[in-house]
Amino acid sequence: MKFIITSEDTKFVIYANEPLNKRTKLYICNTYNAEFINNQFLINKHENSSLISKFSDYCKKHSYELELDDESDKTLEKLYNEEKRFQEFSKKAELIWNNSYDKSNFIEFTKVVQNNMYRTLYPLQLLAAYHLTFSQNSCNFSVPGAGKTSIVYGSYSYLSNLETDNPKYIEKILVIGPLSSFGPWESEYESCFNEQVVSKRLSGSYQSYESKKKYFYSLNTSKLTLMSYQGIIGQTENIISFLKNNKVMVVLDEAHKIKNTDGGKIAESILKIAPYAKSRIVLTGTPAPNGYRDLYNLFKFIWPQKDLVKFGLNQLDDMTDNQNDNRINILINNLKPYFVRIRKRDLGLPKKIENDPIVVEMDDLQKTIYEKLENKVMNDIIKEKNNTFVSKLKSAKFIRLMQAASNPYLLLKPLEEQVFEGEDLLDDELETKLIEYKKLNRVPPKFEEAYNLITELINKGEKVIVWAIYVDTIERFSDYLNSKNINTKILYGKTLVESENLDEKIETREKIINRFHEVNSEFKVIIANPFAVAESISLHKACHCAIYLERNFDAARFVQSKDRIHRYGLDMKIVTNYYYINTRSSLDEVIDERLRQKEELMIRVSENTEIPLFQTITDETYIDENDIKGIIENYVKRT
């Protein structure tokens, strides 16, 4: 069979010298988004710039003859030459991270960075910034606390000081990330360049479509633009116009949020704007939390016209399910030139102390409530067959036990998620006990123990972050501390992010964090929710003590929260302390043990793997079957 490719103004035309079977037609139409009209395929040139090269490989694979018109033949030659140059470029990019590079060029880069940055980058940061500057399109999979923001600014300091006619010249940065990242990008700019940056924040809710559109078409856009992932939806064409008219470095912070390969709006929008960016950067410490499929969009973003992954989604799923699959090494080798990774052990961090759990006793009424609730829950669970374990997690029974061990007042309120229906754990007897608990205005023993510890730490001159899971616990514990004359501030989902439309008097996350860092801050304690602020914020310059009032089985959030105060930049004399307050003979004991096991596994995987995969560690419910077995074993052992 022979295929013929001709080139028209905006389209490639493919036709065959004999009738095609249905499978071949379907392949060409699906692969190149082709229209099949009058026995020929019409393919958009803009969307398929490398079609001739790919189709040539397809024909060779199936022993089909391929004939090209003159223009197509020239295009094929050009594409092959481009591919050869790209392979050479990729080889050089990989050599940089392997410490094999042009030393004189690196020295020149270092001088420019040192002359234009106030902050000094440590050797691995400098190497990562050099890799990024060379490639302009790169992923950084370093652990939290490695200074990924400073690395980006290091590269920017070099690229923005090139001659304006240099093809690598960059004049602006567009960061797309979670709302909690906005403040750190601004404060890190000040730390890196010793000057405040004039930035523009564009979130998903504060500004109207028209105001965002007006900004992107303005001739006076900011040096640093910050957008939320939700904020880009519906703004694609406006962002493209902005990228066309400016030389922009686009940074995806916490980029695992674009991993959706099933047509999610955020991922689609990001991939659509990618070709128009002058430089593309991906930042995430968890590149593949759910499997190797998660890598697909990340590398599609940094090189939109290249097939870097070289495996289909189904193949990536197979590799996730079989960690001994030989293709995994091939995948990582394919991607090596395009990412860097700094591990925890590379940071040379000072000592941290994991203090033994502080075990508190329940008061008589809490103990009665907990034991009655536990008996009901465990009798229900043990009766169930093994294959119903995971579905039972969504019944809120274990969440209710966590709440009872920490703060019985939570049992009087509906679960915040409000997705659990038909809950029948709170019978008349339990409700009577809970009402009695409320009437007596009991203080949960955990609160008292945490207060004593906080008082002791503050008297030593320390500032403290307290981590709790539930909103009622956060608010109730804050009120309790304030009643004891310990001024506190709260960081959770309800705490607003700074916006130009907000009244100056409104307390935002940024204002709280900035004041917390002040030497004479009027408050020494922050109470925070790991789901709201476990990413992006840094507290290590002000705080070296974390107290865990409540925890659940989510190891990823737990480890992220710990990294808020133990990260690069700490003086080697500083000791970071973690304190855990557990209720005796409760679910806290199992959570403590399981989190230790999960954290050890996460660290082992993260430190020994270039692209860490966390699917085997946790799932979307954060409680796996081993957690449940641990709960049952603990209950049986105690009773």
Amino acid at 141: F
CA gap 483, 562 in Å, rounded: 28
**pLDDT band at residue 328 using 50, 70 and 90 as cut-offs:** very high
Which residues fall within 8 angstroms of residue 563, CB to CB, at 6 or more apart?
143, 144, 145
Q: What is the pLDDT of residue 502?
A: 72
Flag whether 551 is in a domain. yes
* Domain final residue, candidates 423, 439, 455: 439
Give the domain CATH number at 178. 3.40.50.10810
Average pLDDT over residues 156-167: 96
- CA end-to-end distance (rounded Å), the chain: 76
Give yes or no: residues 167 and 314 share one domain.
yes
Q: What is the pLDDT of residue 419?
A: 37
CA gap 630, 256 in Å, rounded: 30
CA gap 154, 98 in Å, rounded: 19
CA gap 149, 189 in Å, rounded: 9
CA gap 254, 238 in Å, rounded: 23
Q: Say if residue 107 is exposed, middle or buried (CB neighbours under 10 Å; 0-12, 13-18, 19+).
A: exposed
Give yes or no: residues 139 and 8 share one domain.
no
- Lowest model confidence (mean pLDDT) among 4-8, 441-445, 535-539, 545-549: 535-539
Q: Give pTM, 2 decimals.
A: 0.83
The whole-chain average pLDDT of the chain stands at 89
Flag whether 84 is in a domain. no
Domain count across the chain: 4
Does residue 415 carry a pLDDT above 50? Answer: no
Give yes or no: residues 434 and 453 share one domain.
no
Flag whether 93 is in a domain. no
Amino acid at 433: K
Helix (H) or strand (E) run with residue 68 in it? strand 65-68
* Domain final residue, candidates 401, 424, 439: 439
* Domain final residue, candidates 290, 316, 346: 346
Give yes or no: residues 238 and 273 share one domain.
yes
Q: Compare 100 and 565 and report the one with higher pLDDT.
A: 565
Give yes or no: residues 454 and 310 share one domain.
no
* Strand stretches in 1-70, DSSP E: 2-7, 11-16, 35-37, 40-44, 65-68
Give yes or no: residues 509 and 556 share one domain.
yes
Q: What is the pLDDT of residues 473-529, one digit of tens each?
A: 999 999 999 999 999 999 998 898 877 667 778 899 989 999 999 999 999 999 999
Flag whether 504 is in a domain. yes
Q: Quick one: how far is CA 63 from the chain centroid?
A: 45
Q: What is the pLDDT of residues 608-637, one digit of tens each?
A: 888 888 765 544 446 777 888 888 889 989
Give yes or no: residues 494 and 382 share one domain.
no
Does residue 271 carry a pLDDT above 90? Answer: yes
**pLDDT band at residue 209 using 50, 70 and 90 as cut-offs:** confident
Give yes or no: residues 245 and 280 share one domain.
yes
124's tokens = 């691995």
Flag whether 94 is in a domain. no
C-alpha atoms less than 13 angstroms from C-alpha of 313 in its C-beta half-sphere: 9
Give the domain CATH number at 42. 3.30.780
**pLDDT band at residue 206 using 50, 70 and 90 as cut-offs:** low
CA gap 7, 75 in Å, rounded: 9
Give yes or no: residues 578 and 614 share one domain.
yes
Average pLDDT over residues 531-541: 81
Flag whether 88 is in a domain. no
Give yes or no: residues 385 and 495 share one domain.
no
Give the domain CATH number at 499. 3.40.50.300
**DSSP tally for the chain: helices H, then strands E:** 24, 19
Flag whether 178 is in a domain. yes
Give yes or no: residues 461 and 420 share one domain.
no
Give yes or no: residues 397 and 450 share one domain.
no
Residue ranges making up the domain that contains 374: 362-439
Flag whether 95 is in a domain. no
CA gap 148, 559 in Å, rounded: 18
